[in-house]
Structure 1
Amino acid sequence: MTGLLADPQAVPVEVRPYLTELVRRTREVCGSSLVSVFAVGSIALQDYRHGRSDIDVTVVVDPSLPGPVVRELADSLTDQTCPATGLELVLYDADFAARSSAEAGFRLNLNTGPLLRYHATYDPSGAPAFWFVIDRAIGYQSGRLLFGRPVREVLAAPSHEDQLAAVLDSVRDHSRGVGHLADNRILNGCRAVVFCRTGRWVAKYAAGQMLSSSEPEFRPLVDRALRSVELPRSQAWDLPQDEVRDFLDRVREIVERTVRNADG
């Protein structure tokens, strides 16, 4: 079965059988319309944490794939038992994936699994675009091919300006705090700062380590977030909301300044 994966060693052993079955089901449902399947998120950035991380997957298909088949794929993958906290899978038509865009642009956005609230949406018009822009940027930079054509043959990177705008939107979203663990809010802010400084996407944990070293004012808070994210999601620590808010206000200022400078 592992022969279905382009490079089994490129994905964590804990999720290798699951991703093998995911590829098998996706090939079975999509047939010759399937172009590529690749891992993004924590797997792509080599920081998958079993019991804490989601599995993030991007699927690219020929635009001729009928809508009912897309829904069949969502049903098939929902029936599969996920060993991680959940599966976040996004399906794009190949013509959209191949061009740089600041839009959400998906044909399927599927969340399913033990600790994720289930949803399957097929219309991108009402979706916050920034998460999809960031996922495609990470995919272009570091995506791990699971099946099909190489990532950079099928996926275009969003422009740097669009990535910065998406980073700013993500920081604003985490500032509101709705639906986010406190440690993830902090480490997402760290990753935003590192992206502004380097133009590269790094794992949130690595970004936290960088900010802990470079920002003494916030080191105690960031270090607590780092220790918390090492625990299973159900055991995540509460962090002082005023400190979290102050930190994210500072991050937002850094990102806004970076955006202004980029606009020049």
Structure 2
Amino acid sequence: MTVPLVESQSFPVELRPYLQELVRRVRSVCGVRVVSVFAVGSLALGDYRRARSDIDVTVVVDPALPDAAVLRLAEVLTDLECPAAGLELVLYDADVIGRRCDRAGYRLDLNTGPLLPHKASFDSARSPAFWYVIDRGVACQSGKLLYGRPVREVVAAPVFADQLAAVRASVREHATGAGHLADNQVLNGCRAIVFCRTGRWFAKRGAAHRIARAEPRFGPLVDRALRSFERPRAQNLSLPDSAVAQFLSWAGECVERAPRGSTDEFRSWGRSTQS
């Protein structure tokens, strides 16, 4: 039985059948233990790019869901042909995602699809926390509901200081270059800086346009990263290594300077960096 998507009009037409089938399989495996299913990432922020973006989905379940069902869910979703670059799905118990947390905290972290190395992790203690904190921050701000209870009823917004710490960690991780396309390194850096200046999550392209306007010295690099981001991953444009390294060094300095104190102090700092 096809399950209508709650916020159907929020998703690209070509993805709706896949998302409907994903929800159907989640419900088939997890039954009444499903609390909520929603999109984060580029789908939530309105910047999904065909042949480039992943489909990022969060599933929230009752903690009583048996481990065998979590294992089965990883199997049935791996078998589902993904029309995007890949599926990145994270499953949480409701009592974990429902409280503020600076840990990864998941029961399942599944990557599958044509352009993603397959991963099914069931031990969150082995994973760096920052990606999951960022995703939960995006969810509280912009998550798009597929099925179940509203996002803000089930997700507790991470503490703001924890989101800033996650941003800093993400920039440091991207600066290593390991496993990242150069255009995504630059655009993630832009998003991190804009978050540190505004306290809000922006899509990578929107953040990049802001940085290009505010920092003309990086305009050519950011523009090339944006043009590359419009292309399929296999056809990405090369970016000068030295320019990328210089940008990421500057981005790291920017996010490290963001105040760790009160929200008022942060907002004052953010206004001063945009003047």
For the superposition of Structure 1 and Structure 2, which TM-score range results when normalised by the shorter chain?
Answer: over 0.9
The CA distance in 2 between the partners of 1:178 and 1:55, in whole Å, is 21
Q: Distance in 2 between matches of 1:147 and 1:198?
A: 30
Whole-angstrom CA distance in 2 between matches of 1:218 and 1:2: 47
In structure 2, what is the equivalent of residue 41 of structure 1? 41
Residue 239 of structure 1: aligned partner: 239
Q: Matched residue of 2:197: which SS?
A: helix
Question: C-alpha separation between the residues in 2 aligned to 1:156 and 1:14?
Answer: 31
- Residue 238 of structure 2 is aligned to residue 223 of structure 1: no
The structural deviation recorded for 1:3 is 4.5
RMSD: 1.2
Match of 2:180 in 1: 180
Amino acid at match of 1:28: S
Q: Which residue of 2 aligns with 1:19?
A: 19
Give TM-score scaled by structure 2 length. 0.94
Give the Cα separation in 2 of the matches to 1:182 and 1:209: 17
Amino acid of the structure 2 residue aligned with 1:245: A
Q: How many residues align?
A: 264
Q: 1:212 to 1:173 in 2, by over 3 A?
A: same
- Assess if the C-alpha contact under 8 Å between 1:134 and 1:167 holds in 2: yes
Q: How many Å separate the matches in 2 of 1:262 and 1:167?
A: 17
- Structure 1 unaligned runs (5+)? none
SS at match of 2:36: strand
Q: Secondary structure at the match of 2:60?
A: strand
Question: Hey, what does 2:272 align to over in structure 1?
Answer: none
Q: Distance in 2 between matches of 1:195 and 1:80?
A: 34
Find the residue that maps to 1:246 and give its secondary structure. helix
Cα distance 1:94–1:194, how it changes in 2: closer, same or farther (>3 A)? same
Q: Which amino acid aligns with 1:6?
A: V
1:4 is displaced (CA, Å) by 2.5
For 1:151, the equivalent position in structure 2 comes to 151
- The question of whether the paired residues in 1 share the 8 Å contact of 2:186 and 2:247 is answered with yes
Name the structure 2 match of 1:210.
Answer: 210
Pair 1:138-2:138 in alignment: yes
The residue aligned with 2:53 is 53
Query: Using the alignment, how far apart are the partners of 2:47 and 2:174 within structure 1?
Result: 20
CA displacement 1:124-162 (0-9 Å, x = unmatched): 001010000000100110000000000000001101100
Deviations 1:172-225 (A, max 9, x none): 000000010000000000001100110000000110111110001101100100
Q: Counterpart amino acid of 1:202?
A: F
Is the counterpart of residue 112 in structure 1 residue 137 in structure 2? no
In structure 2, what is the Cα distance between the partners aligned to 1:259 and 1:30?
42
Q: What is the one-letter code of the residue matched to 1:144? A: K
How far apart in 1 are the matches of 2:175 and 2:14? Answer: 33
Gap regions ≥5 residues in structure 2: 266-275
Aligned to 2:189: 189
Equivalent residue, structure 1, for 2:248: 248
Counterpart of 2:80?
Answer: 80
